[in-house]
A and B are shown apart, each in its own frame.
Chain A
């Protein structure tokens, strides 16, 4: 394998030798240090391979041994080079092309971002751009660790960044912070207040004074468990302590969800008429240059981008765009009642799932449909048992002073 590559690189000649004593010819040639290989005896000639340098010396041997030598085939790179020796520009073109390839592959052309959910890709790209990282930046100038820190500083929702460059692609993986729920510190006194209207089903207080009991109807803002602890002695309030109220309260709550759906909808009837626009991509820009005019009234546009790349990761900043315009004729159609009901139900289901508390237990549900000329309305009434109450801090001002005039400074302890 390697030997044949080497031979191809150096170039060799396949020759036919015939005459009185080919053996003598071979001996003489090898004694002169000429390397002969693949020697095959044909009927009356001997075929062999010899290097270009060797072939020049061979003429002498042939004369001495009175053998005749003819060339059958010339093989190898030197002959190819010789054939194309006058095509200098062609060779130059190849070299320029290789240089250009090397030059272009030292830049980042594509930025891949993974792991963003709340932060938009555009925002990250913009922030990176401000730092000087993005498509069209030299790979060597990118310090992966540093821009990670910058990104985390600039966008607070990002908690971790890892980046690496593969080919002409910059991969950025990031993890977003989990939104911190607002809790009141466990040492700060607070009440538990109803955050919605409902009927209390159960209440289990572990700290504080329960104000409501099961089967009580509460309005939004009502105190359910007070952080006030009255210390009584023989029916007389001696002291008031303020604590962080803690309780597990469940309530029956009603919700109403509404959803609407138009009866008629538009259906696209595609004609087979398609017009195409062609363009080129270069350095993240797009230019459409072949633009046949579009006579369609209604059309869908599909844009197809192709970038030239070597393998998956060596993407070059060049490519082409094909924009297809598909014509369609709009047609107004109507849903049947069952179809529309199904659609509405699905929508409602989704809405309910999104808005309910994860621990909510649906006890009862009813569904009502209402139809008029244009649309169908659906209303879902749902009874749910779910946790109720939110913490509300008791400020110093709100704290009651005792009748005997002691200040509220010793309350919280």
Chain B
């Protein structure tokens, strides 16, 4: 337990250092910082890379946990086209995309 707590403490500081280095060296952030990448095609397709897990799933609302919080997607007739370890493809009519921290 103690070990875990010790490890939990530094990430914030560590993250800050990493952020600075990547900014300075112009590295791709999503690789170094393990951040999600979201691409949208119009209103009908969302491509999410680098996610952690699915929390809620139905055809009107989806909640997906990522490294920087929970991503909430709302829309009509949503469905998961592809789900692999790295990425998720959501299709349907997208109405709202929101981070819940």
Contacts and interface: CB of A to CB of B under 8 A. Distances in A.
B67 interface: no
A33 B85 contact: yes
Interface stretch (A35-43, A199-207, A233-241): A35-43
Contact of A38 (B54, B79, B85): B79
A270 B84 CA distance: 77
B57 A26 contact: yes
Interface in B61-85: 79-85
Interface string A18-30: 0000110011001
A116 interface: no
Given A36-B83, A38-B81, A41-B79, A27 B54 contact: yes
A264 interface: no
B98 interface: no
| Size category of the binding interface on chain A | 10 to 19
A23 B56 contact: yes
B44 interface: no
Interface string A29-68: 0110101111111000010100000000000000000000
Interface residues of B, number: 14
B82 A37 contact: yes
Contacts of B83: 26, 30, 35-37, 39
B79 A23 contact: no
B57 A41 contact: yes
B34 interface: no
Contacts of B80: 36-40, 48
Contacts of B84: 30, 33, 35-36
Contacts of B58: 41
Contacts of B53: 23, 27
A357 B81 CA distance: 84
B54 A40 contact: no
Among B53, B55, B81, chain A packs the most CB atoms within 10 A around the CB of B53
A86 B71 CA distance: 52
Given A22-B57, A23-B54, A26-B57, A39 B79 contact: yes
B59 interface: yes
Contacts of B56: 23
A48 B84 CA distance: 13
Contacts of B59: 40-41
B63 to A, nearest CB: 9
Nearest to B59: A41
B82 A30 contact: no
Contacts of A41: 57-59, 79
B54 A31 contact: no
Contacts of B82: 35-37
Interface of A: 22-23, 26-27, 30-31, 33, 35-41, 46, 48
Nearest 3 A-B pairs (CB), nearest first?
A39-B80, A27-B53, A36-B83
6 contacts: A23-B56, A26-B83, A35-B84, A38-B80, A38-B81, A41-B79
Given A30-B83, A39-B83, 15 more contacts: A22-B57, A23-B53, A23-B57, A26-B54, A26-B83, A30-B84, A30-B85, A35-B82, A36-B83, A37-B80, A37-B81, A37-B83, A38-B79, A38-B80, A38-B81
